[in-house]
Amino acid sequence: MTTSASVSTDPEGAIPRDSTVTDRLVHANERYASAFADPGMDARPVLRVAVVACMDARLDLHAALGLELGDCHTIRNAGGVVTDDVIRSLTISQRKLGTRSIVLIHHTGCGLEAITEDFRTELEMEVGQRPAWAVEAFRDVDQDVRQSMQRVRTSPFLLHADDVRGFVFDVKTGLLREIDPA
């Protein structure tokens, strides 16, 4: 596994001390692009699957699921929660780009288990405007996976809701645990 601490610091890959993280990312992209070859793919995922997962930096979805570039659509947000915007992306993924299966992945130790919907009120007090979006905080990760599966299965916009499965990724072991939708 590559981490920030293990990124090359050789002279060619060196970044000046006064650079920002974004500068570091842009520099890394320049190195990547110098050896890049167009893989000749289109936007349709080879495996016809869309994966919805938490944005947590500990989840390396491609490695954990044995996926290669072009295999799937990946949709990530805080908690991996199925929100209206996730339904929007899944609808486009299915109706315009051919996906048929949906995999939902939450994980152990999620930050959304440690906050509440009061976060919206706190933001309103701080910035003077209440967010239009829900935090989607939860206490029971298994139940939240079930809720997300139900949101997918009952969406009128999705053509294919028969192959929807939900999992909890254990950040300590790397294993997926399937959640029974019942």
pLDDT-flagged residues of the chain (< 50): 2, 5-10
Collapsed DSSP state (helix, strand, coil) of residue 105: strand
The pLDDT assigned to 144 comes to 97
The β-bridge relationship of strands 72-77 and 49-54 is parallel
The pLDDT assigned to 182 comes to 81
Write the pLDDT tens digit of every residue in 38-49: 888 989 999 999
**What are the phi and psi torsion angles at 101 (to 5°)?**
-110, 150
The pLDDT assigned to 11 comes to 53
Bridge partners for 107 per DSSP: 169
The C-alpha atoms of residue 91 and residue 96 are separated, in whole angstroms, by 8
The pLDDT assigned to 79 comes to 97
The pLDDT assigned to 137 comes to 95
The pLDDT assigned to 55 comes to 97
